[in-house]
Structure formats: structure tokens, C-alpha cells
A and B are shown apart, each in its own frame.
Chain A
Amino acid sequence: MNFKPLLAIVKRELRSVTRERTIMIAIGIQLFIASFSSVILVGLLSFYDPNTIAQNSQARIQAGIVGDQESPLLGYLRAGNVRPIYFADPERADAALDQGLIDTVLYVPPENTAEIAHMQLFLPEAETQSTIVMMMLRKPLEQYENYLRRARGIEVRFTDLEGKPSTSYEFLYATIVPILMFFPGFVAGSMVADSVASELEHDTLETLWSAPISLAHIFGAKIVAAMVLALIQIALWLVLLHFNQIDVQNTVNVLFLAVVVAGLNAVAAAVITTFLKDRERAQFIYSLTIVLVAGGSALIGRSPITLLTQLATNDYYASGVDVALYGGLLLVVAAGYLLFSKRLLGTKI
């Protein structure tokens, strides 16, 4: 294969994308999704992973206690940054809650192992404040629940384990980072589908397909151009993630893997479009296929998604060899496609 014409077409493809500022839209989208991820991390996970806040922040609240003054719950509350204040008179507790002197009131019934302990919780009006109260109370209440279980002769195992709250860690590395890394790949395939469909539907292929340039050149160039764009986007991502203080290990391997997946998408889109020959059906089948493959790969062992997670978190067993395997797969399917593209184009549909 002669590479000079290939390079020329790659340049042509890239120029046509940059000229019309569409690339700006792409980068804008990037920026948006990047922020999307950090919003989720900052805001959302603090709610869904409240332990993070409890551990990281020095938030303290005051809880009014009515009822059993001797309850071990008070000790658990103190350990969890909640200051218990005893009220003998419920009216005083109401007044204090109304004035915002205390954040919540708990009615603790006297201890009685024979029956269920019915506790009453009184929350402040403002929703944000009650969210914080609920967050801060969870752990002490759970400890108290375990205490009550023990009092009833039920032993609960594994209560002494600590560790770091893992929800945000998993969400970040098993969901957000893979989405960020593979989204440019999805766009790459979509771009190839549109680009090939455009040539076919506008009948411009014939003019391009002259002596020094073969069909393989044209289609190969489209795939390479899409991969180059994906590479730029993915690299941009990694920089953005770095700015957001999200640490991605094995950066080079992660980058390669994402580009390889972009390439696989591009080849898939090219195959589908050369076979179907119009944008409408090609885009539909392509999108459906990608969703299917992504969904299906979640069920097998080392899918690209899992591999990316493992590379990004520096798993002991994930290495460049696995990336190279996917790279090999890309070479094989790309070569196969380019070899048979003429025949694929010839099939009437």
C-alpha cells in the first residue's frame, strides 16, 4: 500500500472537519461532559456517598435529645460529631429547634429488649439542612441498632471493618473515566459513517477513486482521520481529568486503548455503511451495535471497559500486552475490511 495518497486524504478529511468549526462543537461537548463528570463527583456523590462528607468535612451538628438520657446512643452520637443536648421538657426542644439553636430532635424511648424500639426524629424545615442531619445521624444510628441487636443476643459480623468509602472511587473509575475515554471513539465511528455515507450518497466516490488512489486508500484514510480526531479529544480529556485532580494511572496505555477502541468503532461503522450505503440505516445499525457490544462486553471478563478501569487504577495484572491484543484485533479487522471493501461496496442492497 502506498502511504502518500493515504496521508493526503487523511489531511483532506481533517481539514474539512476543522474548516467548518464543527471541531469547536466537538470540543465544546468535551468540555461539557468533563464538567458533567466533575459535577457528579463533587455534588452527587457527596449525597450518595455520605461517608465521604462525614470523613472529609468537619461538620458538626447539635441534636436535642428527649426521653432516655442514659442511652448508649449518646456516646455514638458524640463519636460521630453530633453533640447531644438533653431536654427534659419537649416544649423547650420545640423552641430550640424553631430558633435554629439545635439542628434536630430525637426522642429516645427507654430501653426494653422485649419490644421494638420506636424512635422519633424531628427535622428542620429546610431540606438541605435535613439532608445533612440525616447524613450525620446515619452511622451513630446504625451503631445503636447493632447495640440493640446484641442486647437481643444477635451477633453481627464484620462491623469493625473500616476502609475508605468506595462508591465514588468505583463510580469514577468504572463508569466516568471509561465513558470519557470511549465517547470520542463513539463519535469517531459516527463520523466515519457520515463521511462514507456522504461519498456514497453524493456519488463523489467515483471522482475521488482515480488511478493513484485506491478504494482502500479512501476508506483507510477516513478511519485514520477519525482516529486522529479521537486521539486529540482523548488527550484533551486526560488533561482535563488531570486538572480536576482525577488521577489516571498508566496514561499512555489508557490513551492507546481508547484510540484502539475508536479505531474498532470506526471500522465497524465503515463496514456497516459500505454495506448499507446510506446514512440513515448505517447510523441506526451502528448506534445499536455499539450499545449492544458495550452492554454485552460488560458480561464478559476483560472487556475494553474493564481493562480501562484496571489500567486507570493500576491493577497488577493489566498491562500494555492486553492493549496490544486489542491493537492486533484492530489491525486484523481493518485489513479485512480494506481487502473486502470493494466487494462489500458491490453488494446490492
Chain B
Amino acid sequence: MLNFRLILTIARRELLRVRSRFQGSARSMLLLVFLAAASLSYLAWQKGATVQMGVYRVGVSPNGPVLADGRFITTTLDPIAGFEQLRLGQQDLYVEADRVIARDDDRSQYALGAVKQYLAEQELIRLSENYAPEEAFPLRITVQENSVTAVVRDGLGSGASDAADAAAVDAGLANMGLSDFDLAGEDVFIPSLSEPPIPFAQVIIAFLYVMPIAFINIFFTSSFMQEKLDKRLSVLLSTPARPVEIILGKMLPYLTFSLISVVVMTLVLGGNVGAALLIFVPVILFMFAIYLMVPLFYRTFKDTTFISMLAVTIITAYLVFPAMFSGVNDFSYLSPLTLAVQMYQGEMFTLEQYLFATVPIVSIFSFALYIGTRVLNEEFLLGFRPLTRKLAQAVYLAMNQKRPFLSIFFLALCFVPIVYLIQLVLLAVSLNLPLQVALIAVLLASVLVEEVAKSVGIVVLYQRKAERPYRRIFTLALISAVGFLVAEKLLLYLSLSVVSEAALSTAIFSGGLLIVPLIAHFAFTSFVCVLNARWHVRYPVAILAAGVLHVTYNLFILGSAL
């Protein structure tokens, strides 16, 4: 059992350490920066946060409309100067009263598109201010769940309520002003007010919630590094405190700070605190898991720069990127931030969606915590060896040498969410390539990742043993394959309950496709292990060989399925 008193003691000690960091002039510096942040936010608030992008230059005649938008740099010009400057390329557009004049080149045409969009919005605002809603917005469209017959003939649900209509108008107008995150979540929509918003809410949510947690993590990672440097960690490790208690104790203050930042942010934005905590606790845990890797694996300070950057990238890839698709594609539920976006739109999420978004990241957290507790010893932390060797050692330490079978099983199980994450990244990367190349590249790369995940435990186990009997290798490979398959299918099952593509799910769960992949996984894994452990083929070469086989197999399966 965990010794909670010990955890609290370590947490208190950690708090004292951070406090001592910010005393004297460091504190005034911090105050200064915070003051600057506060005044800047205030200024942005006051100015209505017009971001000066200055993409287009627009000349406007004295009697022309006002273009109050950061995208346009406007100059008041009389028609003669206006047309002349437009011709010379000094302006991208010229607006004379109600007429907008553009050139034929791209830049001018894009400017025209932007001005059109802006003026159309202004028109809608004018209409909504000058006319009654039923005149200004005379068309209401109800998206029907029922059949055409039921609605048209039997009049079911056809008379949309006036309240829903009014709500649609209000929500649509609010949406244009970006003043709050309320989107027209109702089934009634109005064509001119249904422009999909630029993924602004997502970006803001990601920014406001994730950024503070990332900042707090600087202290968490530095804490380990500092104590490693002044040898206090060695002292701490020699106390009765176990590694898991040390890590949790050090994490606790920062977890608390992160939680506070989430609560504050939700109160400021006017969200539901309970739902926000439900969503962001897994996010916080995930981020701490990623950042925990920085102090565990760095060797020099320069490493930390890059490992931290890697952490930032993983977080962006996994949290921010899928959330950009919220409301567009179910794939967005990979990221819990999507749930937050949904919460701010006043919609509730289902249990499946919540599990789909949080189970992988929470399991990554538990795995990271476990790895952390296994490798938190002086020999590992202070040893200077290549990164690959260090990773291999971490895998070795993660296993219980006395129970190799169970260890291999759980290792394969735990690797699946990580494989899943890497494959996601690979998919994103592959989209840069031409389609034919991308397909093969992503197949090969994700297969390589899978093969590494399944075999690395066995290989690391045998690197330190002289005796490597075939039978044992095969048994371990089988266990690894089973563990991997179980987790893979579990994850797939979870995702299919959210992303409903009926044809796909029947294809995957039809009986034959469970035994065949098991045999395939087993074959490729034992292939790698035998090559490496018995025939002394270098590990990367063995992986590549198995990868080629696996891809061929996949193409064969795909070919027969299509």
C-alpha cells in the first residue's frame, strides 16, 4: 500500500523547494511578468482582441464602408488615387461606396473573398438590428430525425417551436461575434447564420487549458533534475520512501496547481466545473506522464531541450490536433479537448465518447508511472549511455525477472496505447507524401512500430542471458502476441463504439480474423526474436525483415478483403 503520510511529506518538501526558488529579485521578476500578462490580457479585452494580421491592403473611398477587422489594413483614398494604387499593386482592393473593385491576380481575389465574407456578416448584423427576426431571417430549416412520410404526411415534428427558432437566431448571431462559444446546437438552422466557425474555440480552449499545465510541468521536471544534480535524490532514495511515493509526492503539488488552473479557467469561461474536471484530470495526468520522461531519460541539459520539445509535440499531436476536427469527424474524440469544446457548446458527451478519449491516455499515465517507479534508481539515472541503450534498460527494469511470462504479457498490453499514439502521428506525417507512397510508407512504418513493441521485451530479456532455448523464445513470442492482440482489440472495440462504421466492425470481429492475426503476430515476433537472440542479427535489421514480411501479409489480407 502507498504510504500517504510519506507522500504528503515529500509534497510539502517540494512546495518549500519551489517557494525558495522565487524569493528576492526572482520573485519581483516573476511578479513583473505576471503583471505584464495581466495588463496585456486587460488591453486585449479592452481592444476587443483585434489581432493585427494585416494580410490585405484595402483602399476605401470616403463614403465607403468601415472595415474594422485586423485582416485589413485600410487607407482612405479618393477614387483617382484608389484606382491608381490598385493598378500598381499598392492596394489589393478598392472599395468605392457599395462597389468593390479587384484585380485578377490571386492576392486581390483572396482579398475580395475576405471582404465579401466580412461585408456579408456586417449585412446580417444590420438586418438583425433593423428588422424583426421573422423578416430578417425568413427561412428556418429543421434537420429531421424522422422519415419524410412521418413528417410531411403525419405532421410529426414539422412545426418547429418558436422558442427553438429564436434560439437559433440568437445562437447564430452570437457565433459570428465569437463572443462566446455557444454554437447553434439546436436542430433548427438558418442558412445565412450557419457558417461553420473557424476552429477558434478549440484553439482557445487548448491554449488556455493546456498552456498553464505545460508551464507547471517545467517545475516538475526541473525538480528531479535539480535534485539529481545536488545529490539530494540519492539521499531521498536511501530513505524508506519507495520510488512510487517519491514520484507521487513530487507530482502532488503540481497536480494540485494544474487542477486549480483548470478550475479557475472554467470559472472564468463560465463552464461546468465538474465536467471540466472530469475532462481535464486525464489530460493533466497524461501531460505529467509525458513530462516525467524528461528527467528520467535526459543525460545532458541539451537533451532536455529536445526531449521537452518532443513532449510538447506529442501533446499537440494527441490533444490539440484531433480536437481541431470536433463537430466535423468522430475521429476528434481521440482528444478529451473535443469533449471540452462540446461542453462549451452546451452539449453533453456520452460515456463511450468519454472512455474513448480518456482510457488510452490514462493507461499511458499508469504505464509511465510504473516505468518511472522501476527506473528511479541511482544507477539508471546517473548512467550516461546512448539513448537507445537507456530505453532498452528501462524496458528491462520494467519487467519482473522472476516472472518473465507475466511481464512480457503486460508489457505487450501496455505498449498498445503508445503504439496507437505513434501510428496516429505517422498517419499525420504520411499525408505529406503522394497517396501511393503514403499508403505503403504508413503501412510499413506502423508495422515496424508494432514489431518493436511486441519483441523488444523478449530481446532485452535475452540480451543478458547466455542460454536462449528456442522453446522459451516461442512461448514468450506467443504470450507477447496474445497480450498485444487483446489490448489492440479492446482499443478497437472502444473506438468502434464511438466511430460507427458498420462494415468495418463486422469485418474486424468476424471470427476468422481473430485467429489469423494471432498466428501472424506470433510468427513475426518469434521471427524477430530468433533472428536477434539466436542468429545474432542486429535488432534493427531483424525488425526491418519482419516488417517487410508483415507488410506483405497485410497487403495480402487487404487485397483479399477488397
Contact = CB atoms under 8 A, between A and B. Distances in A.
Contact of A32 (B26, B90, B136, B317): B317
B310 A29 contact: yes
Contacts of A21: 386-387
Contacts of B120: 158-159, 161
B313 A32 contact: yes
Contact of B309 (A25, A43, A67, A128): A25
B98 interface: yes
Given A157-B119, A281-B22, A165 B139 contact: no
A42 interface: yes
Contact of B158 (A48, A118, A149): A118
Nearest to A87: B148
A164 to B, nearest CB: 4
B112 A107 contact: no
Contacts of B521: none
Interface stretch (B36-44, B240-248, B346-354, B542-550): B36-44
A232 interface: no
Interface in B508-535: none
B374 interface: no
Interface stretch (A211-219, A256-264, A311-319, A328-336): A311-319
B428 interface: yes
Contact of A284 (B218, B303, B305, B428): B218
A195 interface: yes
B505 to A, nearest CB: 14
A156 interface: yes
B222 A120 contact: no
A208 to B, nearest CB: 15
B410 interface: no
B51 to A, nearest CB: 5
Given A34-B432, A161-B100, A173-B55, A47 B196 contact: yes
Given A44-B325, A244-B432, A276-B29, A298 B51 contact: yes
16 contacts: A31-B429, A48-B198, A93-B149, A115-B134, A117-B138, A120-B144, A127-B329, A145-B191, A158-B100, A162-B116, A174-B55, A279-B226, A300-B52, A309-B54, A316-B90, A349-B24
Contacts of A281: 21-22, 26
Given A156-B123, A289-B33, A36 B428 contact: yes
A190 B303 CA distance: 11
A97 B148 contact: yes
A267 to B, nearest CB: 17
A305 to B, nearest CB: 8
A120 B142 contact: yes
A24 B308 CA distance: 14
Contact of B300 (A20, A142, A171, A292): A20
A283 B218 contact: yes
Interface in B136-189: 136-144, 147-149, 151-153, 158-160, 165
A26 B138 contact: no
A318 B195 CA distance: 33
Interface stretch (B102-110, B443-451, B462-470): B102-110
Interface of A: 16-17, 20-23, 25-26, 28-29, 31-36, 38-40, 42-44, 47-48, 50, 64, 66-67, 90-91, 93-94, 97, 105, 107, 115-123, 127-128, 131, 138, 141-142, 144-146, 148-149, 151-152, 154, 156-159, 161-167, 169-171, 173-174, 187, 190-191, 194-195, 197-198, 201-202, 240, 243-244, 275-276, 278-281, 283-285, 287-289, 291-292, 295-296, 298-303, 305-306, 309-310, 313-317, 347, 349
B227 to A, nearest CB: 11
A310 B54 contact: yes
A107 B302 CA distance: 65
Contacts of B43: 299
Interface string B245-259: 000000000000000
A216 B30 CA distance: 26
A17 B302 contact: yes
Interface of B: 21-22, 24-26, 29-30, 33, 36-37, 40, 43-44, 47, 50-55, 57, 71, 88-91, 98, 100, 102, 106-107, 109-117, 119-120, 123, 127, 131, 134-144, 147-149, 151-153, 158-160, 165, 190-192, 194, 196-199, 211, 214-215, 218-219, 222-223, 225-226, 229, 299-310, 313, 316-317, 321, 324-325, 328-330, 386-387, 425, 428-432
B432 A94 contact: no
A105 B148 contact: yes
A66 B152 contact: yes
Contacts of A316: 57, 88-91
B47 A166 contact: no
Contacts of B140: 116-119
B116 A291 contact: no
A164 B113 contact: yes
A269 to B, nearest CB: 10
A44 B100 CA distance: 30
B136 A154 contact: yes
A132 to B, nearest CB: 12
A295 B40 contact: yes
A69 to B, nearest CB: 14
A121 B151 CA distance: 10
Given A116-B140, A120-B141, A163 B226 contact: no
Contact of A131 (B22, B26, B328): B328
Contacts of A67: 152
Nearest to A67: B152
A349 B222 contact: no
Given A174-B55, A198-B301, A292-B40, A190 B26 contact: no
A20 B303 contact: yes
Contact of A91 (B53, B98, B149, B304): B149
B137 A145 contact: yes
Contact of B139 (A36, A116, A295): A116
Nearest to A301: B52
Contacts of B305: 22, 187, 190-191, 194
Contacts of B98: 157-158
A44 B324 contact: yes
Contacts of B21: 278, 280-281
A317 B428 CA distance: 37
Contacts of A303: 52
B256 to A, nearest CB: 17
Nearest to A143: B191
Contacts of B148: 64, 66, 90-91, 93-94, 97, 105, 107, 120, 122
B104 to A, nearest CB: 11
B192 to A, nearest CB: 5
Q: Which 6 A-B pairs have the closest CB atoms?
A: A163-B112, A280-B222, A163-B113, A198-B301, A141-B191, A161-B116
A180 B106 CA distance: 23
Contact of A163 (B110, B141, B302, B328): B110
A28 B306 CA distance: 10
Nearest to A47: B328
A33 B317 CA distance: 9
A4 B458 CA distance: 52
Nearest to A192: B305
A165 B304 contact: no
A313 B113 CA distance: 16
A35 B89 CA distance: 33
A302 B310 CA distance: 31
A56 to B, nearest CB: 14
Contacts of B109: 163-164
B99 to A, nearest CB: 10
